[in-house]
Structure 1
Amino acid sequence: MTDAAITFDRVTKAFGTVRAVDEVSFDLPRGALVTLLGPSGCGKTTTLRLVAGLELPTEGRITIEGRDVTRLAAAERRIAMVFQSYALFPHMNVLENVAYGLVVNGARKAAAETDALAMLKTLGLEGLGQRLPSELSGGQQQRVAVARALVLRPQVLLFDEPLSNLDARLRRRVREDIRDLQKRLGLSVVYVTHDQQEALAVSDLVCVMRAGKIAQMGTPNELYEDPADSFIADFMGEANVLDGEVLGPDRIALGGVALATRMRAHPAGPAQLAVRPESITLLAEGEGLPGRIQRAAFLGQTREYEVETAVGTLFVVAPAAAPAFAGGEAVRCRMERVIPLRPPRG
């Protein structure tokens, strides 16, 4: 049996002349949580719908656990999907909602409810079976939707923007619940979001899409610390993208100033350089790119600065415990780590 939960082999989905998914190929590992991430219109939701069987590809081949499902309808695939709206039946109680899919698939009501009760216990919802969805919190409703999907014992579980209806604090707690559950049960999960922080927090692998294609796929750390190009660097969190020059190993020039820094190997010569806001240290004097504080803000654990320099305005995030600077002060910007970039593809 293949080690891939899902394989796309040159899959294209066209709507008229628009190729929403354009010759996409990947292997998603079994037992991993893989996030499809990208801006609106990039093709991530269409890709998820292709996995689910809610759309069929125009070209290419899709396999799930080694089985060719390219032309199979959703009901013929061992997948389950948790929708953005949760899609719980408001007139059914929690137990009936979770048991519904089993009953529809032919299970006896008593057996279905026994399995549903066990799944509710697994997800920490024991004792809530007789409540209506309207009597639950947003996080509890989300877990009921997950229970209803998991009780069907799918080979792959799909999430479509599952946290978008929750407030910021609840989003953090529920995404931790999803990640803990995925690890505990060894689930193969495909998770769609447009939220970069959410993707970094929950994923084993992140697949960043752009214009129907895969721009880069890797671990959260790889995408943040070693983006393939300027699109990835700018999309995966904040980045100062600057025109500079690579002078040699760990040496660059910005605004005519030679600077020592850590960086991946890159040929000498002009280059676009990405610098994360937290990779810049502000000093009152010493080696660094000269600048002047244009704006300073205290955010509790961190301070944010905008610093005017010869290469443009830099956005800097410093720990609150670091020396503080006020608007108008002259500073030196030491680049702790710089990422040389390639131009975006496509």
Structure 2
Amino acid sequence: MTDAAIRFERVTKAFGVVRAVDDLTFDLPRGALVTLLGPSGCGKTTTLRLVAGLELPTEGRIEIEGGDVTRLAAAERRIAMVFQSYALFPHMTVLENVSYGLVVGGARRQSAEGEAQAMLKTLGLEGLGARLPAELSGGQQQRVAVARALVLRPKVLLFDEPLSNLDARLRRRVREDIRDLQKRLGLSVVYVTHDQQEALAVSDLLVVMRDGRIAQKGTPTELYDDPADAFVADFMGEANVLEGEVLASDGGMGRIAVGGAVLEAPMRAHPAGRASLAVRPEAIRLVSAEQGAGLPGRVQRAAFLGQTREYEVATEAGMLFVVTPAAAPAWEEGAEVLCRMERVIPLRT
């Protein structure tokens, strides 16, 4: 039996002359939470709909747990989907919402409600079965939608922008709930979002998409610390992309020339010569202009955000966006500083 929960083999989905998904080939592992990430129009939602059977491919083959589902209807795939809007029936109680799919599928009402009660308990919703959706908080409604999906015992659970309707604090708590549940039950999950922080927090594997194709696939750490190109570097959080020259790189350290300065910084091996270099905002340390080596600059903007401070620093290499801990020395606008790079990422393309 295949270890892949989902396999795409050269899958294309065209709408007229527009290829929303273009020749996709990938395996998504069982028991993992895989996030499809990318800007609007990149093809991530179309890919999710292809998995669900809500769209059929123009070309290619789709497998779920080793079985060919390319032409199967959504109801035949044992896939459950949690929508952005939750799609709960407002006139039904929580228990009726969760048991609805089982009843429609032919289960006896008493049996369906028993399974629904057990699932509500699993998700921490015990005692809420008699309430209507409008009587629940946003986080509780989200968990009801998950319960309704899980009670159907799907092979794969799909989430389409599941946290976009929640405020920031609740969003963090619910994403932790989803991640804990996924790990505890060993679910195969495909999760779509445009929120990079959310994707980094919940995922085993990230698939960054661009123009209907995969720009890069890997773990959150791999994509953040070793992006393939400027698009992935900038999409996976903020990145300062500088044009410079690698003078030498050996043993995890490198010497680079950028903006008229020669700097030493940790970096992976890269051939000597011109290169595009990404530096994360938190990997730049600001020191006074008298403290020796660094890229000279002038603070153009300073902002205090509670736990962090943000700066825009004008340098010969361009404007740098810098984030420092609130406990680090503060700099006023107009201050002359040196920018020291604590990690540099040479981009492959």
Q: How does 1:1-346 map to 2 (within 5 A)?
A: 1-249=1-249, 250-284=254-288, 285-343=291-349
Please report how far the alpha carbon of residue 185 of structure 1 lies from its aligned counterpart in structure 2 after TM superposition: 0.3
CA distance, structure 2, for counterparts of residue 328 and residue 291 of structure 1: 10
Aligned residue for 2:266, secondary structure, equals coil
Please report how far the alpha carbon of residue 342 of structure 1 lies from its aligned counterpart in structure 2 after TM superposition: 3.0
Query: What TM-score do you get using the length of structure 1 for normalisation?
Result: 0.98
Cα deviation, 1:101-137, whole Å, max 9, x if unaligned, reads 0000100000000000000000000000000001000
CA distance, structure 2, for counterparts of residue 192 and residue 136 of structure 1: 24
CA distance, structure 1, for counterparts of residue 127 and residue 36 of structure 2: 35
CA distance, structure 2, for counterparts of residue 269 and residue 110 of structure 1: 71
- State the 4+ residue runs in structure 1 displaced beyond 6 angstroms: none
Aligned residue for 2:88, secondary structure, equals coil
CA distance, structure 1, for counterparts of residue 209 and residue 152 of structure 2: 30
Please report how far the alpha carbon of residue 324 of structure 1 lies from its aligned counterpart in structure 2 after TM superposition: 1.5
CA distance, structure 2, for counterparts of residue 316 and residue 49 of structure 1: 39
Cα deviation, 1:13-48, whole Å, max 9, x if unaligned, reads 001110000000110000000000000000000000
Cα deviation, 1:74-113, whole Å, max 9, x if unaligned, reads 0100110001111001111000000000000100000000
CA distance, structure 2, for counterparts of residue 22 and residue 13 of structure 1: 7
CA distance, structure 2, for counterparts of residue 133 and residue 297 of structure 1: 41
Q: Where in structure 1 are there 5+ consecutive unaligned residues?
A: none
CA distance, structure 2, for counterparts of residue 13 and residue 41 of structure 1: 13
Paired amino acid for 1:159: F
Please report how far the alpha carbon of residue 221 of structure 1 lies from its aligned counterpart in structure 2 after TM superposition: 0.6
Please report how far the alpha carbon of residue 293 of structure 1 lies from its aligned counterpart in structure 2 after TM superposition: 1.0
Paired amino acid for 2:257: A
Please report how far the alpha carbon of residue 297 of structure 1 lies from its aligned counterpart in structure 2 after TM superposition: 1.4
Identity %: 83
Cα deviation, 1:192-233, whole Å, max 9, x if unaligned, reads 001111100100001000000000000111111000001000
RMSD: 0.7
CA distance, structure 2, for counterparts of residue 299 and residue 97 of structure 1: 42
Paired amino acid for 1:203: S
Query: What TM-score do you get using the length of structure 2 for normalisation?
Result: 0.97
Please report how far the alpha carbon of residue 321 of structure 1 lies from its aligned counterpart in structure 2 after TM superposition: 1.5
Aligned residue for 1:261, secondary structure, equals strand
Aligned residue for 1:118, secondary structure, equals helix
Please report how far the alpha carbon of residue 237 of structure 1 lies from its aligned counterpart in structure 2 after TM superposition: 0.4
Paired amino acid for 1:329: A
Aligned residue for 2:39, secondary structure, equals coil
CA distance, structure 1, for counterparts of residue 211 and residue 181 of structure 2: 32
Paired amino acid for 1:205: L
Cα deviation, 1:304-337, whole Å, max 9, x if unaligned, reads 1111110111111111111221111111111111
